[in-house]
Amino acid sequence: MPRVANPLTKVRKRLEACCFAEVNFKNLAKDKDRPSDPDKHRNFYRSRVPIQREIVPAADEALDIACERLGIDREIVHGFVESDPKMGATCSYIRGNAVVSMTSGAIERFTIPEMTYVFGHELGHYIMPDAGLCNLLPNGDPASMEDAITYRKLEISMDRFGMVACQDYKVAAVAFLKLHSGLGAQHITDDVVSYAKEAIKGYVQDHTEYFQEAFTTHPSLYARIRALSHFAESEEFLKLIGKKGGKSHAEVDVEVAKDLHATLDYYASKLMDDVIYDVNNHLAAAQVHFEGRCEVSRYDVHPQIKPEENVIKAILGEIQKAPADKRDEDVHTRLDGLIRHAIQRCPYRMTAHLEALLPKLADTKFNENAQKFALRFKEYLIRYRSGEQI
Ligand SMILES: [Zn+2]
C-alpha cells in the first residue's frame, strides 16, 4: 500500500507558534496519530444532535471557520451538540478524525466568533494530543501534581490554537468570561482588566490552601487570559493573521510562565518541596532508628531543601511513643505514607532526589533499607499509574 501523508504534519508545521514550553510537537508520542476504534463515537449520532449547516447553522459556521483557519479538513471533523445547560466543550474521541462537542448552554450564549475560539481550542487537542507529554491515570486525570503542571501548559497551547481560529484576543477573552461565569452577553462585559484586578486577590501566601487546585488540568482563568494577551502580541501570531512586528516566541513564553507560576505553579512547587523535605528528614530519622546514628550532612542533596536536626529528633520522639516491638513497623508505615504523597505530588522530583541521595548512603548500614525504600517507591509508582489504589 502506498504511504499516505499524515495531513496533520503540514498543520503542525504551520502552527509551531502555538506550542508552549516543552509542550511542543517534537515531544509528542510516536504513535500519537494511531486511529482508535472508528466506531467509538457512532453512539453520538444516536444520542446527540450533529452540528450541520441545516440543523445547527451558527455552530456549523463557527466549526467551518475554525477548521479553515487551523488548516484542518472539515470532512474529518465531527461536531455534536451536548444537551446541557452548563457551558462547555470537549474533544471527545480522537481517531483518524476529530470529534468535538459543545454544550447547548454554550451554543446559546456564544457568538459565532466566540464559538470559533472554543472550537479552535478543542481542535487543538486533536492537533496536539496529550499522549507522551504527561502521564495520565486510566480515568484521564493527571497522574501527579507534576503531570498536572504539564497538562496546564498543554491547555495554554490549546488556547493559542483557539486564538489562531478566532484571530481576536477580545473575542477569546469574552468567551472565557462567559464560560467561567455561565453568563450571556446581556450580563457580562469585555473588561478583562477589571476582572484581572479582582481575580488576583484569590492568590495568597499559604500554599497549603491550593492542594486540590494543584491537581487541576486547567490554569487559572487569570493566567489564561493574560497568556492570550501576550500571545496576541507575538510575532508568530501577528504573522499568521497577516500582520507584522511583535514579540518573539521566547519572550512571550517567559511572560506566560511567570503568570502560571504566580497563580498555581508556585504553590504546587511548595507542596512538592514539603514532601521531599518530609521524606528526607524521615529517612534520616529511620537511619538513626535502625543504625543508631546518622550523619545529617549526607542528606544535604538539594539546594533548597535542607535536612533539619531538630525535625529529625522530633520524628524520633514520635517513633519512641510506639511500644518498642512496634517501632520498626511504625517507621515503615510512616515511610510508606510518604511514598504515597511523593507519587501523587512529585514522582519525577522524588526519583531525582533518591538518585542523588542513595549513593551518599551506600557505605552505611542503612543502605539496604534505603534501597528497599527506593524500590518500594518505584513499585508503587507503576501500580498507581496503572490505576491501582495504593
Ligand atoms: Zn482543553
Give the Å distance between the CA of 231 and the centre of ligand 1: 17
CA pair distance 152, 179, nearest whole angstrom: 17
Give the Å distance between the CA of 175 and the centre of ligand 1: 14
Give the Å distance between the CA of 155 and the centre of ligand 1: 5
Location of C-alpha cell 480522537: 94
Give the Å distance between the CA of 158 and the centre of ligand 1: 6
Give the Å distance between the CA of 217 and the centre of ligand 1: 8
Give the Å distance between the CA of 170 and the centre of ligand 1: 19
Q: Are 89 and 118 in contact (CB under 8 A)?
A: yes
Give the Å distance between the CA of 250 and the centre of ligand 1: 22
Burial class of 366 by CB neighbour count within 10 A (0 to 12, 13 to 18, 19+):
buried
Give the Å distance between the CA of 303 and the centre of ligand 1: 35
Q: Are 164 and 120 in contact (CB under 8 A)?
A: yes
Cβ atoms < 10 Å from Cβ of 54: 7
CA pair distance 142, 22, nearest whole angstrom: 16
- Enclosing H/E stretch for 329: helix 327-345
Q: Which three cell numbers stand for residue 16?
A: 509551531
Q: Are 98 and 76 in contact (CB under 8 A)?
A: yes
* Stated pTM of the model: 0.91
Q: How many residues does the chain have?
A: 390
Give the Å distance between the CA of 281 and the centre of ligand 1: 39
Give the Å distance between the CA of 125 and the centre of ligand 1: 7
Location of C-alpha cell 507584522: 244
Select from 223, 162, 167, 216 the least CA-distant residue to 192: 223
Give the Å distance between the CA of 360 and the centre of ligand 1: 43
Give the Å distance between the CA of 152 and the centre of ligand 1: 9
Give the Å distance between the CA of 156 and the centre of ligand 1: 8
Q: What is the dihedral of CA 107, 110, 116, 118, to 10 degrees?
A: -80
CA pair distance 184, 85, nearest whole angstrom: 12
Angle, helices 169-181 vs 112-127, to 10°: value is: 90
Phi, psi of 94 (to 5 degrees): -115, 120
Q: What is the dihedral of CA 300, 306, 311, 316, to 10 degrees?
A: -20
Give the Å distance between the CA of 127 and the centre of ligand 1: 12
CA pair distance 130, 27, nearest whole angstrom: 10
Query: What is the structure's pLDDT at 39?
Result: 65
Give the Å distance between the CA of 94 and the centre of ligand 1: 13
Listed as ranges, residues in the chain with pLDDT below 50 are: none
- Enclosing H/E stretch for 291: helix 266-291
